[in-house]
Structure 1
Amino acid sequence: MIIRLLARRPVALGIGLVVALALPWLIYPPVAMDIMAWALFAVAVDLLLGYGGLLSFGHAAFWGTSAYTTGLIALHTGLPFPVAIVGGALAAAVLAVPIGYLAVRLSGIYFAMVTLAFAQMIYFIVNQWRDVTGGENGLQGVPREFFGMDLSDPFFFYYAGLPFVLFGLWAAWRIVRSPFGQVLVSIRDNPSRARALGYPVDRYRLLAFVLSAALAGLGGGVFAISHGFASLHDVYWTTSGQAVMMVILGGIGTLWGAVLGAALIVTLNDYLATAGFEETGIVTGVIFVLIVMLFRKGIWGTARDLLASRPKGDEPAAEPAAKAPAEPTEAVAKRS
């Protein structure tokens, strides 16, 4: 009964919200903020991969572009950090339009390689444009200005930045459950049939690409404000690979799985770094291989399938309907 109760969507959403609110009380607040920002990034990748069928190795371009744009707005304009975060997300969405316009005409490994090539171009531009981006030093000292409020304490900033992440997660949830999301899934499953039915496949893919980039940018902006800097690592291709790994660990096409995968990877990296272990990639790589071999649909996807196939033995059987009493033979004889 408890397992079936947790499988219900409203209950799962309620539990997720409670965990998000309680997270800085359970772990170090900066790590909690990293989990939420990376969760939104992974969900953005899953929106494109799990529901659009497009594997992108270039989403670090949007995450990093938003981080730098957010930092520049906060540093040079003095505007409140929410404005800077929204500006970073918009910059990521604008950047995604020309990249997506060229990339969505391809699929499979070709799409992945094109997005990777564009991401490396952004990395080169950020590295060379030192007067604006700081080059290898990055942007440092990004403020958390919010109408004079003191948000230097990571605990308080967590609750200031959490609404942006929750809004992004809610937006992704609404997108995949909208008519647009249903069409996107049909294009993923059979693009030729969708095109024959009159759907503009490339236009749908481009819109999904831009929406995914905007959500990734939203997470990147929160990440930059939380850490107070933006670095070249934010636009490097390994950042995209880590987000893809989070999605695969949790389960492709589940959204909840992306959140779970992000929480596992960020927590594990923090634990290994705190313990003084430098080669964190070896441990995470081994865990990734084991989970892919043992849970082919990811952790959340496998658990969901197990719940769906679980027999309903814990529910009480319905009582048989009462039979109408047989009519006496004497009454039948009189009517006849």
Structure 2
Amino acid sequence: MSNDVTSGATAHLDLPTDDVHVSATTPRRSGLRWLLLAAGLVVALALPWFIYPPIAMDIACWALFAISLDILLGYCGLLSFGHAAFWGGSAYCTGLVAVHYGVPFPVAVLAGMLFAMLIAVPIGYLSVRATGIYFAMVTLAFAQMIYFIANQWRDVTGGENGLQAVPKSFFGIELVETESFYFYYAALPMILLGMWAAWRIVHSPFGRVLVAIRDNAPRARALGYDVETYKVVAFVLSAGLAGLAGGLFAISHGFVSLQEVNWTTSGKVVLMAVLGGIGTLWGGVVGAGFIVVLEDYMASSGFEGIGIVTGSVFVVVVLLFRRGIWGTLAHHLGRRRQAGTRD
């Protein structure tokens, strides 16, 4: 779509037409899909055995956050620079509910998710009326508005001191509430449900309409689809998944800071999605894992120029792997499979 949000960006990144939308599900492809899902589940279950459990939880949360952005960027062609509003807004709401009501953390996280979807309705309704870079700037402006409110409303959010001592209440099960290792496994089902929801969204008829809008919005409109309504719904669903990730992130850390609603958080998740490969969902997982582990390694070694390294990696990947890490791998495997079929 020539006038939509990522018309320039996708031209340089060679946004892939997701294979799941363009081919019938052959037995071989179905088997490969189940194999990938099984491998991903094994990795998710084994992760805290090999790396520090809080870092494993960070990877899971950021992966879901990147997937939520990919619904907009990869499948709808909407580049949001304001997704920190939903990640951070949910984090604050989740923290406040957990602190003041002492409910089990899944309940607090769901409250934060609903809050993120609630604020996404007016933001999405006003934002999707803009196109091109203007959409990105409008979402950024709304996110900065949320940041200003969080900073100024000190009696509620704690301002610059943040929201502290967020409990991990979980039906009185002490191991989950005090040990990050067991908390990971208590929170993982919510992450996996969020990822499954994202998969269902993009593989449904609704998701196919989003791809049609991404590729040619005027044609989709001519076919009778209400393009703006579809974009708003996608925006709200994406915000809900971002809110789910942000709420779990807040519970995991037991603390919510202004960093969660800062524009740098929006930029970081865009970096993860593009690095892994937009329009793939798996790319968000790969990008999140790569960035979180890289940042943790550099921070542990005392290196202070983390932004320089991650920025350099991003530039290299965009120049050499125009589809992202996972997108490039999937593209080459697809071409080899097609060549083998022809032979």
Q: TM-score w.r.t. structure 2 length?
A: 0.89
Q: Kindly indicate whether residue 152 of structure 2 is the aligned counterpart of residue 128 of structure 1.
A: yes
Q: Kindly indicate whether residue 96 of structure 2 is the aligned counterpart of residue 72 of structure 1.
A: yes
Contact 1:51 1:253 in 2 (8 A): yes
What is the CA distance between 1:7 and its match in structure 2?
8.0
Q: Kindly indicate whether residue 304 of structure 2 is the aligned counterpart of residue 285 of structure 1.
A: no
Q: Kindly indicate whether residue 110 of structure 2 is the aligned counterpart of residue 103 of structure 1.
A: no
Identity of aligned residues (%): 67
Task: Report the secondary structure of 1:164's partner residue.
Answer: helix
Contact 1:126 1:133 in 2 (8 A): yes
State the distance in 1 between where 2:130 and 2:278 align. 20
State the distance in 2 between where 1:262 and 1:106 align. 29
Match of 2:242 in 1: 216
Query: Cα 1:263–1:6, aligned 2, differ >3 Å: closer, same or farther?
Result: farther
State the distance in 1 between where 2:266 and 2:51 align. 25
What is the CA distance between 1:311 and its match in structure 2?
5.5
Match of 1:57 in 2: 81
Contact 1:65 1:235 in 2 (8 A): yes
Match of 2:195 in 1: 169
Q: Kindly indicate whether residue 333 of structure 2 is the aligned counterpart of residue 307 of structure 1.
A: yes
Contact 1:249 1:291 in 2 (8 A): yes
Structure 1 unmatched ranges of 5 or more: 318-336
Contact 1:6 1:12 in 2 (8 A): no
After superposition, give the CA deviation of every residue in 1:106-161 in whole Å (9 maximum; x if it has no partner).
12200000000000000000000000000001101000111211121110000011
State the distance in 1 between where 2:67 and 2:29 align. 24
Match of 1:116 in 2: 140
Query: Cα 1:54–1:159, aligned 2, differ >3 Å: closer, same or farther?
Result: same
After superposition, give the CA deviation of every residue in 1:70-107 in whole Å (9 maximum; x if it has no partner).
00000000111110000000000000000000001112
State the distance in 1 between where 2:260 and 2:337 align. 46
Higher Cα Rg, which structure: 1
State the distance in 2 between where 1:116 and 1:184 align. 22
Q: 2:57 aligns with which of 21, 33, 41?
A: 33
What is the CA distance between 1:5 and its match in structure 2?
8.5
Aligned length: 314
Task: Report the secondary structure of 1:310's partner residue.
Answer: helix
Report which stretch shifted further, 142-151 or 40-49: 142-151
Task: Report the secondary structure of 2:82's partner residue.
Answer: coil
What is the CA distance between 1:6 and its match in structure 2?
11
After superposition, give the CA deviation of every residue in 1:53-74 in whole Å (9 maximum; x if it has no partner).
0000000000000000000000
State the distance in 1 between where 2:63 and 2:31 align. 20
Q: Kindly indicate whether residue 276 of structure 2 is the aligned counterpart of residue 226 of structure 1.
A: no
After superposition, give the CA deviation of every residue in 1:225-258 in whole Å (9 maximum; x if it has no partner).
0000100000000000000000110101000011
Q: Kindly indicate whether residue 156 of structure 2 is the aligned counterpart of residue 144 of structure 1.
A: no
State the distance in 1 between where 2:140 and 2:128 align. 13
Q: 2:225 aligns with which of 192, 195, 199?
A: 199
After superposition, give the CA deviation of every residue in 1:199-238 in whole Å (9 maximum; x if it has no partner).
0000000000000000000000000000001000000000
The code of the aligned residue for 1:50 comes to G
The code of the aligned residue for 1:207 comes to V
Q: Kindly indicate whether residue 65 of structure 2 is the aligned counterpart of residue 14 of structure 1.
A: no
Contact 1:68 1:230 in 2 (8 A): yes
The code of the aligned residue for 1:286 comes to S
Q: TM-score w.r.t. structure 1 length?
A: 0.91
Match of 1:85 in 2: 109
State the distance in 2 between where 1:92 and 1:254 align. 24
The code of the aligned residue for 1:91 comes to F
State the distance in 2 between where 1:147 and 1:244 align. 36
State the distance in 1 between where 2:179 and 2:132 align. 44
State the distance in 1 between where 2:339 and 2:284 align. 31
Q: Which runs of 4+ in 1 moved over 2 A?
A: 4-7, 311-315
State the distance in 1 between where 2:273 and 2:158 align. 31
Contact 1:7 1:307 in 2 (8 A): no
Q: 2:205 aligns with which of 173, 176, 179?
A: 179
Structure 2 unmatched ranges of 5 or more: 1-27
Match of 1:24 in 2: 48
Task: Report the secondary structure of 2:278's partner residue.
Answer: coil
Match of 2:320 in 1: 294
The code of the aligned residue for 2:154 comes to R
State the distance in 2 between where 1:289 and 1:313 align. 31
